[in-house]
């Protein structure tokens, strides 16, 4: 399968006319980049004739779209079905407090129109899906994937390959980021590098793992740089490379990628993927950058926050283990909980296991009940707590007698939503 063409190559192949000459106001607006020999008036005209589909108006999409609009890209399609929330504002720089609960696509379009009214901004308040992705992708010259979730990454990649469009993709998490250009000038597509998705329980997004707001800002700006280079005809140095960013060390690293894989399922010589699929089923996870919910335990191994509240109200003796990292416990916690991070449980940290055993022994001494002693496990969302239950079920209970271990469904965020509205949500 042939690689995607540049916007200029596509227009030449279609017999399109040359873009019109720049106006006096365009020359004034873009003067600082027009004088660049690499760009010049010809590159600026190509930018104004180019259209870019931005998938996701969040931490990556906001700086990307802002710089594309500022540089004079002619048409921007803004895809996002979500609304602006308070927790978005530390990194999603196009949105404002005044637009909370507003569609992100419309919020971004409004901000971009204020920045550059000559750019056509088209908001799509839709969830990108196998039914609508191809028509959207085909309507634009270039695609920028700012979704930062695995099912959408595969969906956008496959749609770009099937539509013959180049894809600029970035991601950001915690203090790290990465950037690559796919399906362009003989380079690989995303599936060439990752033919199979990772197990869903191993995937972390910024809602789970956190992110420093400036990191997606940096990666979105670099993403915009590659889009502008490709759209203006300068080209890209990342069609067969991946750029990795370490914010803590202030370091960039470039990894060379192989060429297109002839055996790739979507862009290979004999593709098996010729239509868009059910990508949530393929990846085993939902297409969202919000907190995901895993289902690792049976219903008998879990209790609801309402049921746990009854345990507290009845003053039944038990131990509550909070398996979040200590930094999250500093944000908020239930005062009677014992913090034993999941990483230390899984790593068989001797001190943590000793502390847990001692707490259970101390509380258990207050009971005369011969029933299994209850140990409840909690985390932010009820995902890590399920993993911890599995670890504790394999724990040797020597000297403790019978132990019953259950996790609390929905975790502390469910506690805040359903039990205590004053409990902080983060």
Is 379 a known active-site residue? Answer: yes
List alpha helices for 284-410, DSSP H: 305-314, 326-331, 342-346, 350-364, 384-393
Question: Is the model more confident about 370 or about 62?
Answer: 62
Contact indicator for 109, 121 with CB cutoff of 8 Å: yes
Q: What is the CA angle 45-239-122, rounded to 5?
A: 45
Known binding-site residue numbers = 59, 80, 87-91, 104, 148-149, 189, 192, 264, 267
Contacts with 35 (C-beta within 8 Å, 6 or more apart), sequence order: none
In CATH, the number for domain 299-418 is: 3.40.250.10
Q: What is the pLDDT of residue 289?
A: 66
Contact indicator for 181, 231 with CB cutoff of 8 Å: no
Domain covering 7-283: architecture:
3-Layer(aba) Sandwich (3.40)
pLDDT tens-digit series, residues 128-177: 999 999 999 999 999 999 998 999 999 999 999 999 999 999 999 999 99
Contact indicator for 168, 142 with CB cutoff of 8 Å: yes
pLDDT band at 10 (very low <50, low <70, confident <90, very high): low
Separation CA 229–CA 380 (nearest Å): 42
Rounding to the nearest 10 degrees, give the CA dihedral for residues 272, 200, 78, 185: -40
Residue 11 pLDDT > 60: no
Contacts with 51 (C-beta within 8 Å, 6 or more apart), sequence order: 7, 73, 74, 75, 76, 77, 139, 140, 141, 142
Same topology between domain 7-283 and domain 299-418? no
Secondary structure letter of residue 103 according to DSSP: B
Known binding-site residue numbers for ATP = 59, 80, 87-91, 104, 148-149
Contact indicator for 183, 166 with CB cutoff of 8 Å: yes
Out of 62, 146, 160, 379, pick the active-site residue: 379
- Whether pTM exceeds 0.75: yes
Is 206 a known active-site residue? Answer: yes
Q: How far apart are the first and last CA of the chain?
A: 45
140, 231, 251, 365 from 113: Cα distances, Å: 19, 20, 34, 68
Pairing of strands 176-182, 241-246: antiparallel
Out of 57, 62, 206, 283, pick the active-site residue: 206
Provide the residue ranges of all domains of the chain, joining segments of one domain with +. Answer: 7-283, 299-418
Encode burial over 255-277: b for 16+ CB neighbours within 10 A, e otherwise.
Answer: eebeebbeebbbbbeebebeebe
Q: What is the mean pLDDT of the chain?
A: 93
Known binding-site residue numbers for Zn(2+) = 189, 192, 264, 267
């Amino acid at each position: 399968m042939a690689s995607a063409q540049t916007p200029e190559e596509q227009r030449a192949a279609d017999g399109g006319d040359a873009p019109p000459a720049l106006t006096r106001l365009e020359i004034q607006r873009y003067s600082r980049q027009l004088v660049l020999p690499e760009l010049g008036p010809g590159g600026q005209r190509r930018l104004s004739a180019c259209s870019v589909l931005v998938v996701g108006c969040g931490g990556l999409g906001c700086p990307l779209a802002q710089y594309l609009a500022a540089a004079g890209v002619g048409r921007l399609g803004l895809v996002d079905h979500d609304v602006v929330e308070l927790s978005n504002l530390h990194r999603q720089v196009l949105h404002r407090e005044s637009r909370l609960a507003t569609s992100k696509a419309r919020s971004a379009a409004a901000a971009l129109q204020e920045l550059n009214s000559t750019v056509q901004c088209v908001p799509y308040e839709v969830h990108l899906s196998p039914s609508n992705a191809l028509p959207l992708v085909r309507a634009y010259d270039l695609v920028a994937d700012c979704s930062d979730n695995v099912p959408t990454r595969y969906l956008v990649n496959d749609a770009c390959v099937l539509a013959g469009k180049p894809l600029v993709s970035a991601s950001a998490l915690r203090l790290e980021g990465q950037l690559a250009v796919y399906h362009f000038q003989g380079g690989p597509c995303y599936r060439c590098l990752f033919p199979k998705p990772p197990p869903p329980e191993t995937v972390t997004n910024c809602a789970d793992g956190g992110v420093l707001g400036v990191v997606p800002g940096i990666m979105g700006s670099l993403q915009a740089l590659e889009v502008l280079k490709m759209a203006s005809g300068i080209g890209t140095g990342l069609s067969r490379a991946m750029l990795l960013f370490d914010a803590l060390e202030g370091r960039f690293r470039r990894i060379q990628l192989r060429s297109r894989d002839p055996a790739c399922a979507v862009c290979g010589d004999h593709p098996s993927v010729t239509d868009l699929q059910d990508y949530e089923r393929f990846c085993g996870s939902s297409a969202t950058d919000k907190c995901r919910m895993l289902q690792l335990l049976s219903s008998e191994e879990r209790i609801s926050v309402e049921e746990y509240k009854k345990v507290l109200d009845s003053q039944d003796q038990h131990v509550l283990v909070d398996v979040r990292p200590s930094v999250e416990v500093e944000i908020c916690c239930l005062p009677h909980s014992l913090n034993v991070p999941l990483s230390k449980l899984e790593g068989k940290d001797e001190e943590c296991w000793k502390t847990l055993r001692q707490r259970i022994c101390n509380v258990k001494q207050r009971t005369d009940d011969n029933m299994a002693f209850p140990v409840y496990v909690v985390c932010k969302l009820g995902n890590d707590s399920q993993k911890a239950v599995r670890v504790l079920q394999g724990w040797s209970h020597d000297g403790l007698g019978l132990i019953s271990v259950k996790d609390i469904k929905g975790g502390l965020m469910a506690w805040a939503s359903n039990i205590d509205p004053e409990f902080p949500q983060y």
